Amino acid sequence: MELKDIKKVLILGAGTMGQQIGFVCAMHGYHVTFYDLSDEILSQSLKRIEKLGSSFFVPIRRITIEQLREIMGR
């Protein structure tokens, strides 16, 4: 198996670090799945990831709003 063969990433733990790792993976085109023991953390994680993208990466022009929407779909 080579790196180019990897298309999906599973993140175990949707806390702060897991959210950031998942966001970066999605930015690079991987489809990301989060797993966490807490449903509350899972539900909050997507909101926090979107906030990270819109409040940090979009303003510094690392990504556009359209790219953020694509990333959130992964």
Domain ranges in the chain are 3-73
Average pLDDT over residues 45-72: 90
User: What pLDDT, on a 0 to 100 scale, did the predictor assign at position 1?
Assistant: 84
Percentage of the chain exceeding pLDDT 70: 100
Q: Which CATH number fits domain 3-73: 3.40.50.1980, 3.10.290.10, 3.40.50.300, 3.40.50.720?
A: 3.40.50.720
User: What pLDDT, on a 0 to 100 scale, did the predictor assign at position 3?
Assistant: 86
Bridge partners (DSSP) listed for residue 35? 12
- What does the mean pLDDT of the chain come to? 92
Per-residue model confidence as pLDDT tens digits over 25-56: 999 999 999 999 999 999 999 899 999 889 98
Token output for 37 = 């023991």
